[in-house]
Structure 1
Amino acid sequence: MNPQRKSPNPKTRRNRQIVGILLLAAILLFFGLVVFRFFYITVSGQIDGVNLADRTRRKYTQETVLKAKRGTIYASNGDVIAEDSNVYTIFAVVDRKYVSIDDKPLYVQDKAKTAQVLSQYLSLSAAQIKKILSPKSKKAFQVEFGNAGKNIDLATKNQIDKQKLTGIYFRAQPARLYPNGTFASHIIGIAQLKDAKDTAKDSNAQLTGVMGIEKYFNRQLTGVNGRQQIQTDANGYELPMSKIVTKKAKDGDNMTLTIDARLQNNLETLMQNVQDKYKPVGLNAVLMNAKTGSILAASQRPTFDAATMQGLGNVWRDTLVEDAYEPGSVMKVISMAATVDSGHYNPNATYQSGAVTLDGSTVRDWNYSGWGTIPFSQVMPRSSNVGMVHLEELMGAATWKKYLERFHMGQKTGITLPGEVSGMYQFSRAIDQANTAFGQGINVTAMQMMQAFSAIANGGKMVQPQIVSKIKNPLTGKTTTYQPKVVGRPISAATAANVLDQMRQVVNNKQIGTGTAYQLPGVDLAVKTGTAQIANPKGGGYLTGDSNYIFSVVGMAPASDPQYILYITMQQPQKMTAPAETILSSIFKPLMTRVLSYGQTSSGATTKQVTMPNVTNHSTAEAKEALANAGLTPVLVGSGTEVVQQLPKANSRVLAGQRAVLLTDGAALMPSVTGWSKNDILKLAQITGIQVNFTGTGYAVAQSIPANSVITTNSRVSVTLQPR
């Protein structure tokens, strides 16, 4: 009899049901997740954060970067100063497996021949190159040649290419070409790739300005790369009828500077001659258009060759704007202007020269024994520190500080160069205030001084130094032009004329002038020399020794109506085999002669010089005859018959043919100034005390006070000027 079949245990059946349910749930969950995943991918178009459409587009799209060109920098005459170029790094493939499709070798085969040829172009011997071409590692694919194989120019690359050396290749990278070498190098600056290692990975890296104009205007000079996209198949071949998408590159703006290439090259040669012969620790020179503030030439030593970068490690600073120093006696041009303008200058009053004590400190003249009791009219030509101290005391500290602020001392000029410092001055004690008047205890930059000097040369009108003339967008043609910028009127036109006349004495008065070494035959010059002590970097006063000074000179020409200002400073010549004046004049005289020879002065006057006769206290008839004999044009101001005052002053050297203004006794009468230069009218203002307002530039064509009208020191006259 068959045993009866037993039914499953209820507990076992329940477990099986649970397992089944769980298994079904897992299956449903799995398929649910799969469906959700597909749904998510379909809706979002992403997987693991990767945009599938973008990835597909990139997979089947070939994109090429269209490189933008960095803007070109030009000199004022159109010469290229800096432009884009390419340099190349040479490398050699040594892996014997590197062959073409038809099995032609693409690696270096004849190492001896290759080494011999490359040694003619690289700064390596054939033996050194052959060693490089034979690396110890058998797995090496390619080798490079260190610094000798970098920064190869296009001409050298082409020469090597002509040799048809198998396995020799070049990698291009953007570079900046400076065709003039040493040429206002710290002002122009340099543009470099940020990181050579990054550049090796990214061939589209752009140049960045790291100094000078290149740095200050980096945003304007740097272009924006474009791109071009084409559709390809899986093998990278362009699809027929595919759309090419192009976004053009935007080249950087081009810039034109105020620098004149001829004058700059001349200055560089003159500066280098002094550097080589006398070995100064520092040497600066700036030539500026007095009317517009345009920097025509500027340089410094130490410097570097921007084409090769040789010398760059000596000094990175643009010392014309980044170094503040005590200017010394050239500062007397500013302090004398303040004294005259504030009404505290009496040229005939006298003082005891030699030494003066303030706050327990003694200020001495450079001639320790002094010159006895002398008039204040000799402060400038003799460069008397003591006289300047007395004049500062006559002004008072508050007045002197007001003029320091008017001349923007302790303030940046705002010139478009990076790293400009503001300088500073000490003014807490009486001795500090006096020291600033003769250029000690005050720190300035060369550009600050140029700005201040412009007020003297420009009839009281102070203009900002400028290095950029215009910026032009090569795509739109939009041009930004930098116009002359008047930044203040610290003194009157009459004061400026007075100071210029005193500066004439510095260079022309052979008995007392400290600047006779700067005389130029036939040129009307205004000059001031300076010798500044250098603070001891270790503290405790100033350095001692014959060469431990900053020697300087500022000149303005023609002094009758200055068009140019030239300022030179030289710090601590290590081989001082000649007087400082002789050294500086070897730069000053040829450069000033050259710029004047361009014939760009507004007056167009002859450069022949004559001596102004002394006609004061002479009859008007005698005065007119004497001036005619001297080749000068007399202008009588007054109804009298005797000359009581004259400009220019007696015995000064002046340009032949210029006007000499003679004030007579009796009522002062307004002359007709039609055809007069601005400088001639300023002489009239100085000798009569009238106030003159100018409109326009050039020569007088109209005046508000009619000729022969009576004028007084309170009279105001407006004069309209127009170019001839």
Structure 2
Amino acid sequence: MAPGPKDKRPTPRTPRVRATTAAGVGLPRPNRRMAARRAKVQAGRAATAGRLTGRRAMALLVVLSLGLSAVILRLTQVQAVSAAQYEKLGANQRIRKITLAAERGAIFDRNGVDLALSVNQQTVWANPKVVTDPAGYAAKLAPVLGVDQKTLADRLGQKQHAFVYLARKVDDTTAEAVKKLALPGVDFVPESKRFYPSGTLAAPLLGNVGIDNDGLGGLEVQYDKKLAGKPGELVVEQDPDGRRIPQGYSHLEPAVRGSDLILSIDQSLQYELERALMDAVGAATAKGGLAIVEDTRTGSILAMANITGDGAGAARPSGQNEHNRAVTDVYEPGSTNKVITMSGAIEDGVVTPETRLTVPDKLPMANAVFEDHEPHPPINWSVTDILVNSSNVGTIMVGQKLGKVRLDHYLRAFGFGQKTNVGFPGEPAGLLLDPDHWYVTSMGTVPIGNGLAVSALQMLQVYVTVANGGMYKPPKLVEATIDADGVRRPVEAAPPHRVVSAETAGKLSTMLTQVVQSGTGTNGAVPGYLAAGKTGTARKPLEGARGYSGNYVASFVGFVPAQDPRLAAVIVLDEPTPIYGGQVSAPVFARIMQYALRLERIPPPATAPPAAAGGPTHALDESTANDDPNVPAPATTSTTAPAAAKAPSKSSPSPPKSTSKATTTTTTSKSSGSKA
């Protein structure tokens, strides 16, 4: 069927296709515009991407440059600026410093005899980092070393350490036994150990040292810096396990040996003094005793003994850990102090040795009564008689003439209330009240040696001063030191000073010879020599309270030969039976002086001095007791007389001398009883 006009449709055109280009050429016009815009966008994006990529590259470059700069700066700091610091830090991880102890100096007596010396011994140590079986090692070592097995196992198990001690300073036998075990990681290091060849001889004087050879007491601690020397140092390079690296870095700084001490002590005399004193302490069932022998010309201490007793007859030399009581302990001296009262009164001219006083047996003072122990009617005595008979009342009367201010002056001039500075740790100044603080009874107690306290060394210096013609010569224990180079350096004592005139000292010396010839000190006589000295028997103060106990300290102090003094000694016994210094202490003086005179080769003087004027009528007692064994122990003479009290002591210039004059007529003296 032929199509009709309604069925006739236009034939569609086929568009012409043109070749396209990047610019959209060949596309239809609308499409060309869209393609152009798209190309423009893409070009913009490409441009933007290009710009971003450049910025990122630039930022990255900056970051890298900064990082590189930081690295370069750090390397510069590490390798240049702080190179030494970091080198040290690195070296410290490999370097070990080992302190080398110096050999401690020796202590010799004045003749070069060893009193203390150091000897090398083996110390056993281990490196726990090398020990593979701590428990097994401990089981083998414990019975050999005598150390607890668990303790050893704990030490051997300390893996963080490369060095632990197992046993310090073992003997040679023990060291050999450990070596035979052949335990890897267990080794030895030499260490010095202190030895005292004479055992307990002069032990409290010498003192002792600790495990590391540091001074703990006595001269060992007083001169520790000189004796100890200067430690050395060994520097070695080691691996992380603590083993020394062969051919590694090493450096040795040798230790410098300590100086030796040359003491004034004579070993032979020291031994004899300790033996004599120990016999006396045992025989008197005393609690203890102490004694000192001194060269009066030089002040050198030749012997210093301390004996400990049990009060029942047993006695032994005091040990290293006990006090050197001859220097460190104080006591009330009693009648040995009367020589100071007499010295001051004679020096000031208020009496002479021949001045005569009427001396009763009792003297009231304030609320106390002072007595001579043996009752007697008033006696016409010279001052020499008063000292020879050790009259308390007579001495107090002389003290009253001198006055408390001048008496205090002479007590201090003779060294009371101050240290002797002998060079020993723990030396006290003693107890001495200033006159402004005296009690109402002090004018009765102080002249006779009560109400004050001194050391035995301080008391001895009083008699050494008299023996030296009135010159106080400070004591010394160390004569010299010898340094590591062998150079001997003398130890100089303080210069001497005058206390009383040579004339006064000569008069006192003569009076003291009378005490030994015919007074309370006859047991202190030395055959073939003229000795001078004084006995003392003093009550012991109550501990922690005023007043006195029923116990006594007995003493004797003197020097010989009296015409030309060379040696002086003090002997003190604590709570002896009998209680009298003339009976228990004076014989020790006589015994030790006989030995010392022979040892020093001091011949007897060709002539003896004339007897003192006004010899004694009879010998009474000490400050509180009679040397006559038939006389009962004395009763307390005062209910208020104080024991040595602790109070501040004031130093002041020497006061003017008393205006009282010496008299040779019979007089009596009454106490004023005034308060201080």
Aligned residue number for residue 327 of structure 1: 333
Q: CA deviation at 1:439?
A: 0.8
1:454 equivalent in alignment to 2:464: yes
Aligned residue number for residue 359 of structure 2: 352
Q: CA deviation at 1:372?
A: 3.7
CA gap 1:311/1:87 in 2 versus in 1, 3 angstroms:
farther
Residue among 416, 427, 434 paired with 2:423: 416
2:158 and 2:584 map into 1 onto residues whose CA distance is 59
Residue aligned with 1:553, SS: strand
Aligned residue number for residue 39 of structure 1: 76
In the alignment, is the contact (CA less than 8 A) between 1:175 and 1:192 conserved in 2?
Answer: no
Superposed, which structure 2 residues align to 1:495-506 within 5 Å?
495-506=504-515
Aligned residue number for residue 535 of structure 1: 541
Superposed, which structure 2 residues align to 1:641-660 within 5 Å?
none
2:61 and 2:128 map into 1 onto residues whose CA distance is 64
CA gap 1:169/1:355 in 2 versus in 1, 3 angstroms:
farther
Count of residues in correspondence between the two structures: 557
1:341 and 1:135 map into 2 onto residues whose CA distance is 72
| Corresponding letter in the other structure for 2:532 | A
C-alpha RMSD over aligned residues: 4.2
In the alignment, is the contact (CA less than 8 A) between 1:455 and 1:461 conserved in 2?
Answer: yes
Q: TM-score w.r.t. structure 1 length?
A: 0.67
Aligned residue number for residue 285 of structure 1: 291
CA gap 1:86/1:245 in 2 versus in 1, 3 angstroms:
closer
Q: CA deviation at 1:335?
A: 1.6
Q: CA deviation at 1:585?
A: 4.4
Residue aligned with 2:76, SS: helix
Runs of at least 5 residues in structure 2 that lack an aligned partner in the other structure: 1-30, 160-165, 310-316, 617-676
Residue among 450, 453, 477 paired with 1:440: 450
Residue among 562, 567, 573 paired with 2:565: 562
Aligned residue number for residue 197 of structure 2: 179
In the alignment, is the contact (CA less than 8 A) between 2:332 and 2:538 conserved in 1?
Answer: yes
| Corresponding letter in the other structure for 1:450 | L
| Corresponding letter in the other structure for 2:226 | Q
In the alignment, is the contact (CA less than 8 A) between 1:70 and 1:223 conserved in 2?
Answer: yes
Superposed, which structure 2 residues align to 1:395-414 within 5 Å?
395-414=402-421
Bigger relative CO (Cα 8 Å, ≥ 6 apart):
2
Residue aligned with 1:321, SS: helix
Superposed, which structure 2 residues align to 1:102-141 within 5 Å?
118=144, 132=149
1:328 and 1:440 map into 2 onto residues whose CA distance is 6
1:519 and 1:388 map into 2 onto residues whose CA distance is 24
Superposed, which structure 2 residues align to 1:119-268 within 5 Å?
132=149, 154-157=171-174, 160=177, 164-167=180-183, 172-193=190-211, 207-227=213-233, 236-239=244-247, 246-268=252-274
In the alignment, is the contact (CA less than 8 A) between 2:123 and 2:170 conserved in 1?
Answer: no
In the alignment, is the contact (CA less than 8 A) between 2:294 and 2:302 conserved in 1?
Answer: yes
Residue among 110, 123, 126 paired with 1:76: 110
1:507 equivalent in alignment to 2:509: no
Q: Deviations over 1:331-389 (max 9, x none)?
A: 1122212222222224351222322122333222233x246424032221221111111
1:390 and 1:567 map into 2 onto residues whose CA distance is 27
In the alignment, is the contact (CA less than 8 A) between 1:425 and 1:436 conserved in 2?
Answer: no
Superposed, which structure 2 residues align to 1:47-62 within 5 Å?
51-55=85-89
Runs of at least 5 residues in structure 1 that lack an aligned partner in the other structure: 100-104, 143-148, 194-205, 304-308, 608-631, 635-645, 653-724
Q: Deviations over 1:231-274 (max 9, x none)?
A: 8999855549x9x7554432221110100000112222333344
Aligned residue number for residue 269 of structure 1: 275
CA gap 1:396/1:472 in 2 versus in 1, 3 angstroms:
same
2:411 and 2:479 map into 1 onto residues whose CA distance is 29
Aligned residue number for residue 657 of structure 2: none
Q: Deviations over 1:386-435 (max 9, x none)?
A: 11110011112232223223223212222122232222322234632442
CA gap 1:468/1:312 in 2 versus in 1, 3 angstroms:
closer
Residue aligned with 1:534, SS: strand
In the alignment, is the contact (CA less than 8 A) between 2:204 and 2:318 conserved in 1?
Answer: no
In the alignment, is the contact (CA less than 8 A) between 2:121 and 2:172 conserved in 1?
Answer: no
| Corresponding letter in the other structure for 2:505 | A
1:380 and 1:208 map into 2 onto residues whose CA distance is 49
> Which is worse superposed, 389-398 or 517-526?
517-526
Residue among 360, 373, 394 paired with 2:401: 394
CA gap 1:21/1:132 in 2 versus in 1, 3 angstroms:
same
Q: Deviations over 1:287-319 (max 9, x none)?
A: 00111100000022449xxxxx99555x4x433
In the alignment, is the contact (CA less than 8 A) between 1:532 and 1:551 conserved in 2?
Answer: yes
Q: CA deviation at 1:445?
A: 2.1
2:479 and 2:344 map into 1 onto residues whose CA distance is 32
Residue aligned with 1:605, SS: coil
CA gap 1:230/1:334 in 2 versus in 1, 3 angstroms:
same
1:256 and 1:586 map into 2 onto residues whose CA distance is 31
CA gap 1:504/1:35 in 2 versus in 1, 3 angstroms:
same
> Which is worse superposed, 63-72 or 31-40?
63-72
In the alignment, is the contact (CA less than 8 A) between 1:353 and 1:374 conserved in 2?
Answer: no
Aligned residue number for residue 595 of structure 1: 596
2:151 and 2:350 map into 1 onto residues whose CA distance is 84
Q: Deviations over 1:48-91 (max 9, x none)?
A: xx823334556776766554222211100111111223455568
CA gap 1:464/1:13 in 2 versus in 1, 3 angstroms:
same
In the alignment, is the contact (CA less than 8 A) between 1:283 and 1:568 conserved in 2?
Answer: yes
| Corresponding letter in the other structure for 1:220 | K
1:491 equivalent in alignment to 2:494: no
CA gap 1:17/1:452 in 2 versus in 1, 3 angstroms:
farther
1:151 and 1:582 map into 2 onto residues whose CA distance is 50
Q: CA deviation at 1:606?
A: 5.9
In the alignment, is the contact (CA less than 8 A) between 2:295 and 2:302 conserved in 1?
Answer: yes
2:176 and 2:613 map into 1 onto residues whose CA distance is 68
2:53 and 2:358 map into 1 onto residues whose CA distance is 125
Q: CA deviation at 1:567?
A: 0.3
| Corresponding letter in the other structure for 1:69 | E
Aligned residue number for residue 647 of structure 2: none
CA gap 1:578/1:407 in 2 versus in 1, 3 angstroms:
closer
1:517 and 1:445 map into 2 onto residues whose CA distance is 23
In the alignment, is the contact (CA less than 8 A) between 2:521 and 2:586 conserved in 1?
Answer: no
- Name the larger-Rg structure: 2
Superposed, which structure 2 residues align to 1:594-613 within 5 Å?
594-601=595-602, 604-605=603-604
2:149 and 2:368 map into 1 onto residues whose CA distance is 70
In the alignment, is the contact (CA less than 8 A) between 1:259 and 1:296 conserved in 2?
Answer: yes
Residue aligned with 1:357, SS: strand
In the alignment, is the contact (CA less than 8 A) between 2:470 and 2:505 conserved in 1?
Answer: yes
In the alignment, is the contact (CA less than 8 A) between 1:354 and 1:370 conserved in 2?
Answer: yes
Residue aligned with 2:330, SS: coil
